[in-house]
Amino acid sequence: MTAYEMMLSESQERMLMVLKPERRSGPKAIFRKWGLDFAIVGQTTDTLRFVVKHKGEVKADLPIKELGDEAPLYDRP
C-alpha cells in the first residue's frame, strides 16, 4: 500500500489507540489472546506537527492546529 492509501483507509478499516510506551504490553497481550493484529505505527511528539513517513520518506508534514482547532467552520442551516 502507498502512504496515501493507508491514510485514506485508516478510519474505515483500522482502529487506532494512543498508548504510553510503558503501557503497550497490556493491550498487545489482549490482541494476541484473541488472534487480532497489533502494530505500532507511529508516535506522538511535542512538535505540533502531523508527519507521515513511508519507507523512510516524509510524505506529509502539516501543522496540527490548522488540521483541527483552526479548520474552517461550515455555517449550515
pLDDT digit string, tens, across residues 29-45: 999 999 988 888 888 89
Residue 49, pLDDT score: 94
pLDDT above 60: residue 12: no
pLDDT above 70: residue 51: yes
The upper half-sphere exposure of residue 26, i.e. CA atoms within 13 Å in the direction of its Cβ, equals 7
Helices and strands in the chain: count of H runs, count of E runs:
3, 2
CB 27 within 8 A of CB 19: yes
Q: Model-level pTM? A: 0.63
pLDDT over 70, % of the chain:
92
